[in-house]
Amino acid sequence: MNEKEIPALIRLLDDPDPEIFQHIEDRLLSYGEDIVSYLELEWEKSFNPILQERLVNLIHKIQFQNVKMDLELWYNSGSFDLLRGILIINRYQYPDLDEQKVINQIEEIKREVWMQMMYESSPSEKVRLINNVFYHIYGFSGNTTNHKDPQNSYISQVLESKKGNQISLAIIYSIIAQKLDIPIYGVNLPQHFILAYVDEENQTQYDNDVLFYINVFNRGYIFGRRDIDLFLKQLKVQPDRSFYEPCSNVDIIKRVLRNLISAYEELGSQDKVNEIKELLGIVS
């Protein structure tokens, strides 16, 4: 990195000539994340509103570029780690996110569940124990008053506020379960997102042997296949096998991104809508 060139380029960022500005911006973008600290320092020192605005925009472009690269790497590497995927999405809105703090919060909840699960128990008993920790000890609940708030889709905010939408709560719940080797996975229902407890020990080729379903938005309520049948009938939606079986981590991330697009459309934030559509395109 040319440490002499960077300050000189930054000073030229407020050039009124669009072609010169574009050339300078492209050159700075080529340095990537390494120059963010320089740009932030210059923003703090500057009293020039044009330069400040261009610095903010440039920082965002670099950080968004990193999110796209990391999401593409996660996707092309097999998308095995759901927590990693959702942390990448979180960094879109919170680029300075302390990822280790989020990981530690998840581990803390997992440890509390593990301590209560000292003896072998039935699948329904395991869910009851998770529910006790998740809803009663930690106080998680569905955000029913502001359900379309984009903050409901960012895991760091949900862990702080203890409120989220169907999919964010389900993501946290399933990550904790899977860390404890409990086979609980997401199911992509129309207009809803639920979890399935899979009988992995006695699997056949049919329906992944789901023992029962869990409505995380409704405090971990357990229900069966017939309830899904009724739900689809009320929606006048033709039943499909995918509505009853666990979906992939990629499908979950897609659903989160679509929720964010809808939330930002509601707020009229078209720039964010366009950028999140770019992220959706990477995993589609």
pLDDT in tens, 152-205: 999 999 999 999 999 999 999 999 999 999 999 999 999 999 999 998 766 555
Asked if 169 and 268 sit in the same domain, the reply is yes
Per 3-state DSSP, the chain is made up of helix, strand and coil in percentages (nearest 5) of 65, 10, 25
DSSP classification of residue 241: G
Task: Give the number of domains in the chain.
Answer: 2
pLDDT in tens, 107-143: 999 999 999 887 768 999 999 999 999 999 999 999 9
Asked if 228 and 258 sit in the same domain, the reply is yes
Q: Grade residue 16 by pLDDT with cuts at 50, 70 and 90.
A: confident
The pair of three-digit structure tokens given for residue 19, joined into one six-digit string: 């072609």
Compute the distance between CA of residue 227 and CA of residue 107 in angstroms, rounded to an integer.
32
Q: Are 211 and 204 in contact (CB under 8 A)?
A: no
Asked if 53 and 166 sit in the same domain, the reply is no
Residue 207 reports pLDDT greater than 60: no
DSSP alpha helix (H) spans, 202-269? 225-235, 249-267
Looking at the DSSP bridge assignments, the partners of residue 185 are 196
- CA-nearest of 2, 22, 94, 3 to 12 is 22
Asked if 22 and 117 sit in the same domain, the reply is no
Asked if 61 and 93 sit in the same domain, the reply is no
Asked if 88 and 171 sit in the same domain, the reply is yes
What residue numbers bound the domain in which 56 lies?
5-76
